[in-house]
Structure 1
Amino acid sequence: VSVAVAANPFGWTKGWHGSYDYENLAKHADYLMVMAYDESCLAGPTASVGWVEKSIQYALTQNISPQKLVLGLPFYGRCWMQGQSNSQAISLYLVNSLVKRHNGTIIFDTKSQSPKAVFTIKHDKKDPLPPGAYTLWFENEQSLRAKIKLIQKYNLKGLGSWSLGQEDSSFWNKVFKNI
């Protein structure tokens, strides 16, 4: 039996993140999957490496064996339109074509170990997003490799994702190469 729990990098006791009793859930489950994604409410990383690591560290303070912890990683990004507070989830396999189609730029943020793209959609009836300026934070091979190294560092059981099928078809060979 596995139980998915919200990441809790700061030991919150209220709200979505604080509503899971990791220790007691672990007593009745074979695995806890820490959903280490959806970090940012406003434009920002989906899962910065620091946030993911703090989420792992918190879980380990809850009397849970590392071999009971599975790290859940995002296979999607979040796209924010300038001036809006809500975001649109974008599957990883769509990111490169979206950025290319709108002449966007991809920047890798070394602090968060996360890429982001900036682009502007003009009037394009083929696009599911309305016209406007966008920032898209997402995951790529480099960012996921940094997070997978945390699984090794803390000797966790393994990894899971939200959700299979959203990754690029070449993902598995690229990410696990040289790990």
Structure 2
Amino acid sequence: ERLINQLSVPFIISPGVIDEATIMSPSARKQWVDNQLKIMKDNFLDGINFDYEGTITTKEVALREAYIDLVNETNIALKSVLPYSQVSVDVIFTPYSSSYDYGFHNLAEVSDFLFIMAYDEKDAVSGPYVAGPNSDYMMTKQGIDGFLHDPVVSIANSKLVLGLPWYGKIYECIKLVQDKCLLNKDGERFGHFGLFGNGGNYITYEAAYNLLMTMPENYRWNATSVTPFFSFQNSTTSKIYQIQYDDPLSLTMKYKLAADMDIRGVGIWTVDYLDYSDSPAGQQMRQSMFDPLP
């Protein structure tokens, strides 16, 4: 709480899963908005962040328009009671996805800003079956450029925030060939790595860093994606893993990218993924991650 107050970060609510039936029904939307407003008022919150990540294909015009209506109705209701409240919307890292065609221009018009989720980028790319960066610099840059300059999307700089990851992905390799981690066809969903901090193939920055410190010589830098990674072999199972993540250096490059492209700012998913103990190591980790923030 002290950290949030120091950084002047607003307290917002991020609703749970919003089902399609609610989005499509005007009466259900109104009830949903009323419930969110009550939660905000009861808990002295400052705004709401939409993190709907269901697919909306290009052909699903009615669903897309209904989702935009939901955001608009929420924004109007909140601003009428809490004029300084904030409504933001999470969006995929590229405006060119036919599966997540949310109507980005209109969403930006009816909200305070869009939060570009510049992570899980490898998950959105099918093949080749090789582990790749979680947040590729060039893919991120191309995404921002598309949001800004594509004539159909064309969103104002002040309506875009670049969301960046303080976590990584861990992959089980069939084979490691010159630092390339070859995956089976289901590589993205291969195994459950709860011991590394977050289930699935996610790994917190804290867990990745602590593991790397036991084998610092394994650190590698991908000059193309401008991200770090490292590989290792489990001594018990002999299985080979690769961790693709972001560190202070790679994040600093993308903070600078956001500044150079003159967008509203940057955001993090999520600050929880650090060591918040009072140990010297925890303090050093937090300083190394927070200090580069613009």
Q: If the length of structure 1 is used for normalisation, what is the TM-score?
A: 0.85
Equivalent in 109, 115, 121 of residue 234 of structure 2: 121
Q: What is the aligned partner in structure 1 of residue 15 from structure 2?
A: none
Q: What is the aligned partner in structure 1 of residue 109 from structure 2?
A: 27
The structure-2 alpha-carbon separation of the partners of 1:122 and 1:147, relative to structure 1 and needing over 3 Å to count, comes to same
Greater Cα offset, 70-79 or 163-172: 163-172
Q: Deviations along 1:103-155, whole A, 9 cap, x unmatched?
A: 760101111100011111122xxxxxx75101111101110011011111111
Equivalent in 247, 252, 256 of residue 140 of structure 1: 247
Q: What is the aligned partner in structure 2 of residue 172 from structure 1?
A: 290
Q: What is the aligned partner in structure 2 of residue 126 from structure 1?
A: none
Runs of 4+ aligned residues of structure 1 deviating over 6 Å after TM superposition are none
SS at match of 2:230: strand
Q: Deviations along 1:72-122, whole A, 9 cap, x unmatched?
A: 001101010113402511111111221233676010111110001111112
Alignment of 1:23-172 (within 5 A): 23-41=105-123, 42-60=130-148, 61=150, 62-83=153-174, 84=184, 85-86=187-188, 88-101=201-214, 105-123=218-236, 132-167=239-274, 168-170=285-287, 171-172=289-290
Q: Which has the higher contact order (CA 8 A, sep 6+)?
A: 1
Equivalent pairs counted in the alignment come to: 166
Distance, in Å, in 1 between the alignment partners of 2:109 and 2:232 is 47
Distance, in Å, in 2 between the alignment partners of 1:66 and 1:166 is 28
* 1:5 counterpart = 2:91: yes
The amino acid that maps onto 1:142 is L
More helix by share: 2
More strand by share: 1
Unaligned segments of structure 1, at least 5 residues: 124-129
Q: CA deviation at 1:66?
A: 0.5
Distance, in Å, in 2 between the alignment partners of 1:150 and 1:157 is 12
Q: What is the RMSD computed on CA atoms of the aligned residues?
A: 1.9
Distance, in Å, in 1 between the alignment partners of 2:145 and 2:228 is 24
The structure having more radius of gyration, on CA atoms, is 2
Unaligned segments of structure 2, at least 5 residues: 1-86, 124-129, 175-183, 190-200, 275-284
SS at match of 2:213: helix
Q: If the length of structure 2 is used for normalisation, what is the TM-score?
A: 0.53
